Structure 1
Amino acid sequence: MLWLLDRAAQLTHLKRETPCPEPLTCEAALKTTALAATLLFAHRQTTERTVTAAEQLGRALGVTGTVLPYWGELTVALNGAPISQIVPAKPLGVDMGRVLAVTTVIDQVCHGTLSAEAAQSALESAGRLPPASTPHFTLFAAIGAASLGVIFGTLDATSLLLIATSAAIGALVRRWLSGFSNNPLIQPLCAAFIGGVVAAAAGRLLLSDAATMVGFCPCMVLVPGPHILNGAIDLARTRIALGIARLAYAGVIVLLICAGGLFGFTAVGANLAIAGPSPPVPLVIDVIAAGCAVASFGTFFSMPWRLLAFPIAVGMLAHAARWALISVVGTNAATGALVACTLVSVLATPVVDRLHLPFAAVAFSAVVSLMPGFFLFNAATGLVELVSIGPTAPAALLTSIATNGATAFLIIMAMTFGLILPRMLFERVLPAPA
């Protein structure tokens, strides 16, 4: 009995001497929350998920705050207290590895497996994760461009080799430029210029009968699909200013891609012609090419290798559904994109919620190969031809420009609705898993 009393006294004394970690101050919690929001926002997590995750982290750290996203900055303010922080943040990059790492840190803090004191350093480590290596980035740029060529009906080996070579050179140049320039607009301009030069040279040397596709496909890899879709989603959630800013940024990139490709053709002394309708591709070839394209875009987004299998499978299934609708049922490209994106959203939403994965990493990489780069570039080519011909331009040229432009717009709208509507319905009907 005396031994038990003595042991209890020892434990009581030890408990008194053991320091208990003090909760973070409001300023420290605000700084950690702002860092998490900045990393998510800058690396292309959806705006809604960025705001929700940052506010959840703030509550776990003992503060209740509000995150207000704008183009170029984030404002994080504590409710009921005159404390706020404005941090610079531009959503220019796409790095799903960092998004996943930041999301993992937030989940650990919310579940109590990571202390509040360690959250700041863990977030800083997540923000320093390296992107995909240059060899991987170059290889998958070549694979992605060639896969898009197959999807749009280019099946001869010479043309596909030219497409892959052009995209690989462009990827190397983009990585080289990123080493000494922080301007995100120079890279797509120069890569598109290389694509135009290679395509024009192939046409003049009679190396390929599909010189237009040789020029288009490396440029289609550069189309900022995630930024276009994220901007449209922000508009759908009534974040009007941010949505318009995202779409304006994406529009400038598309404009520079078109200009770079046209400059490349002009530098070699060739004229870029409007590409005709793509011939039908067999189902098996289309689905395999779609899987390769999804893997390529996942690599561009620095997605961890262990996560690629699911978006590849979902993307291949979505392309199969799109192929059946277009080739068998006879629907148009916009309807096919709507059904494919809806299928991807329905399949991906419960999985990413259950596994705490970023929705953009899975869903966008599975459908970004459906972005209407082919139609955008055809419309741009037609506009250049219209200007060069002048008032005597044939009516068929005007019809082609209008058709390609309208098709591109409808596909973007269809993809946006297909992705966001099931996602919003799941969020409203089903509670988020713990």
Structure 2
Amino acid sequence: MGGGGQAPALSLLNGAADPQILPVVGVAAFAGGLLRRWMGERLGINNGLAQLFAAALLAGVVGGVATRFHVALDSGLVMMGPLLVLVPGPALMGATFDLAGLRLLIGLARLTYGLLSIVALSAGVLIGAGLADGVAPDPNAPPSDLSWWQDMACAAMASAAYGVFFSIPYRMLALPVIVGALAHGLRWFCLTELHLANASAAGIGCLLVGVVVEPIARRWRLPFAAVGFAAVVAQVPGSFLFRMAAGLVELQRAGAGAPLRLLAGIGADGGTALLTLVAMALGLVIPKSIWMRLDSRRCRAAEHERF
């Protein structure tokens, strides 16, 4: 049930300013985890997409109820916070790895699963919001205004909870927590001080993760994918994907008279999410590729010396 601890941290990183949001988000994420486990163990529904849809439906209902009873003012983050844990970042980033390596079939399979997961989450939260309150998540969510140390602390919490969420052994948690906090601090510096775009800042943060984690993972014989994804989970652009989905709903309601601002927002959110995922994948894969090439050269040199 690591999502119960990860969801509030991710909500803070994605602009949550009202402290009343955090316990509601944590409870909703915990309840969603219980619901998905109950569906799998008691009902025998092991379809991952169905479980994601059910958890998103519950998050939408909780957000609508919280808004109706004035428990939280920002219904969008109440609804999206529990779902940020469930965004299939590893599947989407793994798809970019496979497509870059020309492993097309498995890359397309992972990409399809990731996109279907986003559709299931978006449909669930929008239907749940409609059932409870009729208010969809706001596509114009405010950016995060955390200080650097708050940003790093939230990223460390998210990385630790991700490790618990995906059953990473506890002996491996220290590395992604520390490196993930440093990488998110570097991303914060790139965004606030250098005024870089979100994709560029996330790519630089992931590059730091790749440079640090790859040699340590090789030395300690740790799985690079598990440790690397745990370190960068806080940088996955889940909020942009959900904002794009909310914007598409608003576009459907507006019809032909949709304002250009709404169309521009949808395109900007979708483009930011895509570019961020690509930049994150490149940041992780470039150091790994360099180390693999160095290892192959060492092997060839050793073979020449032997003969």
Q: Do they fold alike, i.e. is TM over 0.5? A: yes
User: Are the equivalent residues in 1 in contact too, given 2:57–2:125 (CA < 8 A)?
Assistant: yes
What displacement does 1:407 show? Answer: 0.4
Q: Which residue of 1 aligns with 2:126?
A: 262
Alpha-carbon offset, residue 192 of structure 1:
0.6
Shift, 1:279, TM fit: 3.7
**Secondary structure at the counterpart of residue 193 of structure 2:** helix
1:343 aligns with 2:208: yes
Match of 1:304 among 165, 169, 175: 169
Alignment of 1:372-383 (within 5 A): 372-383=237-248
Do the aligned residues in 1 keep the contact of 2:187 with 2:205 (CA within 8 Å)?
yes
Written as runs of structure 1 = structure 2, the 5 A alignment for 1:8-23 is: none
Is residue 430 of structure 1 aligned with residue 292 of structure 2? no
Deviation at 1:367, TM superposition (A): 0.4
- Between the two structures, name the one with larger relative contact order (CA 8 Å, sep ≥ 6): 2
Letter in 2 for 1:199: G
Q: Is 1:397 matched with 2:262?
A: yes
- Following superposition, the deviation at residue 276 of structure 1 comes to 2.5
The residue aligned with 2:152 is: 287
Q: Tell me the equivalent position of 1:156.
A: 18
Paired residue type of 1:388: R
1:244-263 matches, within 5 Å, as: 244-263=108-127
Is the 2:59–2:83 Cα contact (8 Å) retained in structure 1? yes
What is the root-mean-square deviation in Å for CA atoms of aligned residues?
1.3
Report the equivalent of 2:252: 387
Distance 2:218 2:208 in 1: 16
**1:60-90 deviation per Cα after TM superposition (whole angstroms, max 9, x unaligned):** xxxxxxxxxxxxxxxxxxxxxxxxxxxxxxx
**Is residue 174 of structure 1 aligned with residue 43 of structure 2?**
no
Render the CA deviation track for 1:111-162: whole Å, top value 9, x for unaligned: xxxxxxxxxxxxxxxxxxxxxxxxxx2xx21110000011112143211111
**Aligned residue number for residue 85 of structure 1:** none
Mapped partners of 2:144, 2:102: distance in 1: 40
Match of 1:231 in 2: 95
Poorly superposed stretches of 4+, deviation over 3 Å: 430-433
Counterpart residue type for residue 205 of structure 1:
F
Verify the 8 A CA contact 1:215 1:261 in the aligned structure 2.
yes
CA offsets 1:315-367 (integer angstroms, 9 cap, x no match): 00000100000011111110111001100000000011111111111101100
Shift of 1:256: 0.3
Could you tell which deviates more after superposition, 289-298 or 199-208? Answer: 199-208
* Residue from 219, 233, 254 that aligns with 1:354: 219
% identical equivalent positions: 37
Deviation, structure 1 residue 275 = 3.2
TM-score by length of 2: 0.93
Per the alignment, residue 364 of structure 1 pairs with: 229
Measured after TM superposition, the shift of residue 277 of structure 1 is 2.8
| 1:295 partner amino acid | A
What is the Cα deviation at residue 190 of structure 1?
Answer: 0.5
Given the two structures, how large is their TM-score scaled by the length of structure 1?
0.67
Q: Report how far residue 185 of structure 1 moved.
A: 1.2
Post-superposition offset of 1:393: 1.0
| Contact 1:337/1:370, CA 8 A, preserved across alignment | yes
Question: Aligned partner of 2:105: which letter?
Answer: A
Choose the corresponding residue for 1:184, options 41, 48, 56. Answer: 48
Deviation at 1:395, TM superposition (A): 0.8
- Which amino acid is 1:246 matched to? R
1:322 touches 1:340 (CA, 8 Å); kept in 2? yes
Counterpart in the other structure of 1:414: 279
Say which structure is richer in helix: 2
CA deviations on 1:386-423 (whole Å, 9 max, x unpaired) are 00111111111001101000000000110111111110
How many angstroms apart in 2 are the aligned matches of 1:391 and 1:264?
Answer: 26
> Shift in Å at residue 270 of structure 1?
2.0
Query: Which of 133, 143, 163 is the aligned partner of 2:5?
Result: 143
Alignment length (residue pairs): 295
How many Å separate the matches in 1 of 2:40 and 2:88? 17
Q: Displacement of 1:430 after TM fit?
A: 3.2
1:336 aligned counterpart, secondary structure? helix
Secondary structure in 2 matching 1:185: helix
Q: Is the 8 A contact 2:139 2:243 kept in 1?
A: yes
How many angstroms does 1:209 deviate by?
Answer: 1.7
SS at match of 1:271: coil
Task: Pick which of 261-270 and 147-156 moved more.
Answer: 147-156
Looking at structure 2, the residues matched to 284 and 216 of structure 1 have their Cα atoms a distance apart, in angstroms, of 24
Structural mapping, 1:120-131, within 5 Å: none
Shift, 1:269, TM fit:
3.1
Q: Which amino acid aligns with 2:59?
A: G
Report if aligned partners of 2:60, 2:126 keep a CA contact under 8 Å in 1: yes
CA distance in 2, matches of 1:229, 1:326: 22
